[in-house]
Structure 1
Amino acid sequence: MKIRPMTSADWPAVAQIYLEGIETGFATFEKQVPSYEDWNKAHTSNCRLVAQEGNSVMGWAALSPVSGRCVYGGVAEVSVYVSKEHWGKKVGSKLLFALIESSEEEGFWTLQSGIFPENEASVKIHLQCGFRQIGFRERIGKLDGEWKDNLIFERRSSRVGAN
């Protein structure tokens, strides 16, 4: 498995993996995959990674800014998605570790994630990668007419913004 920067040519595979996540009902509130243009606008221009084996994209990870205000310029929201075909192969944790490294190289000091409690695999990899649960949002939003809770995880860099 190779972790490398995502390119626009990866979008069809990334979009398919994102759709698989949507279909689980516990990965995102989104109901459809956005266009590449919309996805591209919503994510930072750096810190976009794919896990690849041969010609197959196994998963992807990317950051989204949490705010347009400059004071939050070093804070980003994490997205990590793994193809169902590759669940249980440590793809998610390898992507998240690589995303942490990339984020610190780019000057991010805080990464955060909102995770549905039933997404046990995502909770596990975040904890393995040094995130800590800092909150619980009860009934934060509806998905298919059902209220969903959200666990809030955070990872503070010990290298960036530590002083």
Structure 2
Amino acid sequence: MVIIRSALPSDALAITEIYNQGIQTRRATFETSLYTVENRRKWIVEQEEHYPILVAVLDELVVGFACVHPYRSRDCYRGIGEFSIYIRDGYKGRGIGKHLLHSLVEACAKRGYWKLVSRIFDFNHASRALCRACGFREVGIYEKHSKLDGEWLDCVIVEKLIIENLD
């Protein structure tokens, strides 16, 4: 059974391993420089309570994480979060992402968010399917959003309204 909980500084190694897998596969992020454990530990410690970082734990191993970052710096956007989700290689396709993303939406709802958004490479069909399964809708495409390894890539924009916070 998968346990979802808030990330701890001691999860930095696992989060670093998982994120670096995403960098190396070139399927989930424009980032090309590998992260360090110290960098991720500092990020976990310094992350405001308003921006949750959750981990999925299976048999005492962190197998995935999801997090929210500020969407924009202006106060009027404080209720919108930009999210990311990463699952450890070998654990994809087991429903862990769905459990983790639902939990992230719940955590954000409790913090007053009214919308979550993200950008997904257009060819990342698994992430797009995960977002659809969790109630996100695709609202557009950023064409030639940036280059990765010298190739222009398009990103699909997804969003989910958190209805209970839209009063």
Whether these two folds match at TM > 0.5 is: yes
Which residue of 1 is the match for residue 86 of structure 2? 81
Identity between Structure 1 and Structure 2 (%): 35
Q: What residue ranges of structure 1 are gaps of 5+ in the alignment?
A: none
Q: What residue ranges of structure 2 are gaps of 5+ in the alignment?
A: none
Residue 37 of structure 2 is aligned to residue 36 of structure 1: no
Which residue of 2 is the match for residue 121 of structure 1? 126
Q: After TM superposition, give the deviation of residue 41 of structure 1 in Å.
A: 8.5
Note the aligned Cα RMSD (angstroms): 1.6
Tell me the distance in 1 between the aligned counterparts of 2:12 and 2:124: 24
| TM-score between both structures, scaled by the size of structure 1 | 0.93
1:1-163 → structure 2 map (5 Å cutoff): 1-34=2-35, 35-36=39-40, 39-40=43-44, 44-45=48-49, 46-160=51-165, 162-163=166-167
8 Å contact kept, 1:43–1:62: no
Change (3 A) 1:13 1:152: same
Q: After TM superposition, give the deviation of residue 55 of structure 1 in Å.
A: 1.7
Q: What code does the residue aligned with 1:36 have?
A: R
Tell me the distance in 2 between the aligned counterparts of 1:42 and 1:140: 29
Q: What code does the residue aligned with 2:33 have?
A: Q
8 Å contact kept, 2:12–2:41: no
Tell me the distance in 2 between the aligned counterparts of 1:79 and 1:118: 16
Tell me the distance in 2 between the aligned counterparts of 1:112 and 1:159: 17
Query: Residue by residue, what CA displacement relative to the aligned partner does 1:73-92 show, whole Å, maximum 9, x if unpaired?
Result: 00011110000110111111
Change (3 A) 1:43 1:24: farther
Tell me the distance in 2 between the aligned counterparts of 1:114 and 1:77: 9
8 Å contact kept, 1:44–1:63: no
- The total of aligned residue pairs comes to 162
| TM-score between both structures, scaled by the size of structure 2 | 0.91
Change (3 A) 1:146 1:38: farther
Tell me the distance in 1 between the aligned counterparts of 2:48 and 2:154: 26
Query: Residue by residue, what CA displacement relative to the aligned partner does 1:103-131 show, whole Å, maximum 9, x if unpaired?
Result: 00011111001000111110001001111
SS of aligned partner of 1:86? coil
